[in-house]
């Protein structure tokens, strides 16, 4: 169990994310994609950490630990690659939601 400090939650998230990236990198044809995806994901995780040194509520710590445990159950490299793209969004929720939500995209489409 980690402490409830934001840095500890980030360490838990990054460790699990790195394990997924290592597994995904074993797919030789996807190595470049995986390394770029992991780079962006790590930056997204770091950006999601709340400011300050206040302890996070226990439910956020439990959520991050559950997310890391679920990621650790992944044994298929292709599934790990899928998780690399979704893990940061779920981790943002455990951190308390995205700090800077992406601006809404204008609708696309034709006439």
Residue 107 has pLDDT above 60, yes or no: no
What is the rounded distance in angstroms from the CA atom of residue 41 to the CA atom of residue 69? 18
What is the per-residue pLDDT for 52? Answer: 66
pTM given for the model: 0.80
Angle between helices 31-48 and 6-24 (to 10 degrees): 170
Each residue's pLDDT tens digit, 67-94: 999 999 999 999 999 999 999 999 998 8
What is the rounded distance in angstroms from the CA atom of residue 38 to the CA atom of residue 17? 8
Each residue's pLDDT tens digit, 37-58: 999 999 999 988 877 667 777 8
Going by pLDDT thresholds of 50, 70 and 90, the confidence category of residue 111 is very low
Dihedral through CA 93, CA 58, CA 41, CA 46, nearest 10? 110
Tokens of 38: 């992991």
């Amino acid at each position: 169990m980690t402490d409830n400090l934001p840095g500890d939650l980030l360490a838990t998230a990054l460790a699990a994310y790195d394990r997924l990236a290592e597994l995904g990198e074993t797919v030789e044809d996807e190595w470049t994609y995986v390394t770029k995806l992991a780079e962006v994901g790590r930056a997204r995780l770091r950006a999601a950490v709340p400011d300050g040194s206040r302890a996070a509520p226990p439910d956020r710590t439990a959520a991050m630990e559950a997310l890391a445990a679920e990621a650790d159950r992944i044994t298929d490299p292709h599934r790990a690659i899928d998780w690399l793209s979704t893990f940061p969004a779920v981790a943002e929720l455990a951190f308390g939601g995205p700090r800077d939500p992406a601006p809404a995209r204008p609708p696309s489409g034709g006439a």
